[in-house]
Amino acid sequence: MKTLRKRRRVQIIVLAAVALALSTALIGYAMRDGINFFRSPSQVIAEPPQPSEVFRIGGLVEEGSIIRGQGKTVHFVVTDGGESVKVAFTGVLPDLFSENQGMVGTGSYVDGVFEATEILAKHDETYMPKEVVDALKEQGLYKEVGDS
């Protein structure tokens, strides 16, 4: 009787371990396209990603770099103070998007240009995404609110 209980207990434990491993693998597989890594312009220039990789880039929009082309395509340059990356975006930019302001874009880096599918701009005068703040602090360009 005891060996039957032990065998049943071991079977249940093995079955639970297999189910856990399978569910973890399925969750990882499902999330593989939903994870976008953040990179600063310096990181993009240092190690250019594959054209098929979707990631986020953030920094400040360089002054005088916004070029509105024919149609809805807008070209501009994003910088972290160390390096700059050209960005192309087709669509409607957020109302608060402007030069010398923080932005985060989602897209891919193809032939030296970041082709953005989404652009996010800061939503008030003090907000800037944490990743952008960290990248600007690393370059020594970030000023706290109230600094001049």
Q: Based on the domain organization, do 12 and 73 belong to the same domain?
A: no
How much is the pLDDT for 127?
A: 57
pTM: 0.63
Residue 53 is part of a domain; what is its CATH number?
Answer: 2.40.50.140
How much is the pLDDT for 10?
A: 93
The answer to the question of residue 147 being in a domain is no
Q: Based on the domain organization, do 115 and 86 belong to the same domain?
A: yes
- Domain of residue 28, residue span: 1-35
DSSP secondary structure code for residue 92 in this structure: P
Q: Is residue 120 within 8 Å of residue 104, measured between CB atoms? A: yes
Q: pLDDT of the chain along its 148 residues, tens only?
A: 678 888 999 999 999 999 999 999 998 888 776 666 788 898 899 988 888 888 899 888 998 888 887 778 899 999 988 889 999 999 888 888 888 888 899 999 999 999 999 998 865 555 566 777 777 777 666 665 444 4
Q: Based on the domain organization, do 127 and 64 belong to the same domain?
A: yes
How much is the pLDDT for 80?
A: 85
Overall number of domains in the chain: 2
Name the pairing type of β-strands 55-61 and 37-39: parallel
Q: Is residue 41 within 8 Å of residue 82, measured between CB atoms? A: yes
In one-letter notation, the amino acid at residue 56 is R
How far is it, in rounded angstroms, from Cα 29 to Cα 34?
A: 10
